Amino acid sequence: MSAIAGAVGRLVDHFESGLDAPICLTWELTYACNLACVHCLSSSGRRDPRELTTSECKALIDELQRLQVFYVNIGGGEPTVRGDFWELVEYATAHQVGVKFSTNGSRITDEVAARLAASDYVDVQVSIDGATAEINDAVRGRGSYATAVRAMERLASAGFVGFKLSVVITRENAAQLDEFKAIADRYRAQLRLTRLRPSGRGADVWDRLHPTAAQQREVYDWLVAHGEQVLTGDSFFHLSGFGQPLPGLNLCGAGRVVCLIDPVGDVYACPFAIHDEFLAGNVRAPGGFTHVWRDSELFLDLRRPQSGGACASCGLFDKCRGGCMAAKFFTGLPVDGPDPECVLGHGERLLAARGDAPAPRPSVDMSRRRPRRARGKALSIADVGALPARPCDESPVAGTSIG
Amino acid sequence: MPAAADVDLDRAWGLDRQVALRPEPFGALAYHFGTRRLSFLKSRVLLDVVETLEQHSSAREACHAAGVGVDELPRYERALGSLAQAGMIRPREEL
């Protein structure tokens, strides 16, 4: 990732003041999901009836093409449950908008795998959150590990080299990083590790599942040792205070170089910030996405120089830049103070001082309330195997709440 | 770090067919749809050089036409070298 004069360094200043269009953009196509992961960042489950229609999605893709957004990260929910999913993927790639989509693997048949392997413009990211079924299924639901592994086998046998294996690091799986790497290597995939945020349903399990201080140090050392072989989506810059900066931009890109478009067209500063405080506008409004990106008050504000607040005098501020805005917000900490996982422990002390005071809740919650069989036909997926009638029945970590 | 040897300034070069350039105030973003790699071009002059590589019989000539001075040339050679290493630009006969 470099051209003239080496390191990214100086570029960060440009990124902080924002670009004419995002470098990459997350687009959650639907809140519908056939899983009910306890830490789901978007509180997905049920479809929102106001979802963007096929023609609205295509118009948005046309706009992204005009803005030269090179690729979108499509997620959800489980994006492949949308009936027009493949149509939209084809439309995007035919319009110079590359697609990387996240999936639990349930709809990756042999035929789909072959089609994906043949396309240069589509990348796939299969999610698992444990290197063993036991640890994965406790978070993602019974059978979900087997489903993901089957999808990876199909992608690998179709000859898809370099798809992504995506893992959210938790207290339960932090010791399995070598095993995740081995799984990725086995399928000729690339490992992508991201940070558990207290966003969506993640707020309910963050206290119990976020890595301990000792684990964070181990994660940092592991990431340094593996360098650019492992992708992180710039997730762990809050740990850069431990030593050398991790690969990546090492800044919060919210509203500056990234943003989220949700299934109903709402534009948020980042995928982990589904809350009215971080809602910049809607693509259905006059001016569309371009207007939201370039002119919304929220985004313009995020691009102004940040003071650093309580962290400004800290010697490590240049490295961690105060960490993740969403992680602070949804744990009830001031957004201009330390990250809850601050390497110096400032966040932990603030959290302890907060006690049981309620933290902000996400503005959207499409979690399923009823047993799966009561759901509409559109969401049924035969391929996923046995799933719990209620997510809470199967998971030792569901049902806990800090709110 | 890519070595200067990655690019021969006296050869004819061009942008890979799967690369898109997006001008930005600092220079440009270059994205390769095949490798899914993103590179940053950290000056508008470099963008100029890269965009006009195909109109010139050598990279040196493209640099000269874009106004790159002799003393700046090594910097541009390194930058083109790292773009070549990332597969963003290729020798013309390989395009």
pTM of the model: 0.87
Residue A262 CA neighbour count, 13 Å, CB half: 32
Tell me which long-range contacts A280-285 makes (C-beta under 8 A, separation of at least 24).
Answer: A280/A255, A283/A52, A283/A56, A283/A60, A283/A63, A284/A52, A284/A56
- Contact criterion met (CB < 8 Å) for A98 and B75: no
Query: In 3-state terms, what secondary structure has residue A247?
Result: coil
Burial label for B87, CB within 10 Å (0-12, 13-18, 19+), is middle
* Both structure tokens of A166: 């995506």
The 10s digit of each residue's pLDDT in A307-322 is: 889 999 999 999 999 9
The band of A381, judged by pLDDT with boundaries at 50, 70 and 90, is very low
The per-residue pLDDT for A258 is 93
The 10 Å Cβ neighbour count of residue B71 is 7
What confidence tier does A376 reach under pLDDT thresholds 50, 70, 90? very low
How many CB contacts within 8 angstroms connect chain A with chain B?
A: 65
Burial group, residue A297, by CB count within 10 angstroms (0-12, 13-18, 19+) = exposed
Q: Which residues pair with A351 in a beta bridge?
A: none
Average pLDDT of the residues in B32-49: 90
Q: Which of A11-20, A309-318, A385-394, B49-58 has the weakest average pLDDT?
A: A385-394
Q: Where do runs of H (alpha helix) occur along A227-295?
A: 288-295
Contact call for residues A42 and A274 (beta carbons, < 8 A): yes
Q: What span, in angstroms and rounded, lies between the C-alpha atoms of A351 and A8?
A: 33
Confidence of residue A4 (pLDDT cuts 50, 70, 90): low
Mean pLDDT along residues A382-402: 29
Decide if B33 and A5 are in contact by the 8 Å CB cutoff: no
Q: What is the pLDDT of residue A403?
A: 22
- Highest mean pLDDT among A7-21, A300-314, A324-338, B34-48 belongs to A324-338
Residue B61 predicted with pLDDT over 60: yes
- Distance between CA atoms of residues A29 and A32, nearest Å: 9
Tell me the Cα Rg of chain A. 20
Q: Which residues of B touch A98 (CB under 8 A)?
A: 31, 33, 36
Q: What is the pLDDT of residue A10?
A: 65
Q: Which pLDDT band, with edges at 50, 70 and 90, does B37 fall under? A: confident
pLDDT by residue (tens digit) across A212-261?
999 999 999 999 999 889 999 889 999 999 999 998 878 889 999 999 99
CA distance A22 to A349: 35
Place of tokens 């001082």: A353
Work out whether strand B13-15 and strand A266-268 pair parallel, antiparallel, or are unpaired.
Answer: unpaired
- Looking at residue A228, its pLDDT comes to 85
* Residue of chain B whose alpha carbon sits nearest to that of A164: B36
H-run or E-run covering A120: none
ipTM: 0.85
Can you give the length of chain B in residues? 95
Cβ neighbours of residue A378 closer than 8 Å, sequence gap 6 or more? A32, A47, A81, A83
* Structure confidence at residue B4 as a pLDDT band (50, 70, 90): very low
Q: Is A109 helix (H, G, I), strand (E, B) or coil?
A: coil
Amino acid A28 reads E
Measured CB to CB, residues of chain B less than 8 Å from chain A are: 1, 18, 20, 22, 24-27, 29-31, 33-34, 36-43, 46, 75-76, 78-79, 82-83
pLDDT digits (tens, 9 = 90+) for A143-186: 999 999 999 999 999 999 999 999 999 999 999 999 999 999 99
Nearest-angstrom CA–CA distance, B74 and B83: 14
Question: H helices within chain B, ranges in order?
Answer: 44-52, 59-65, 73-85
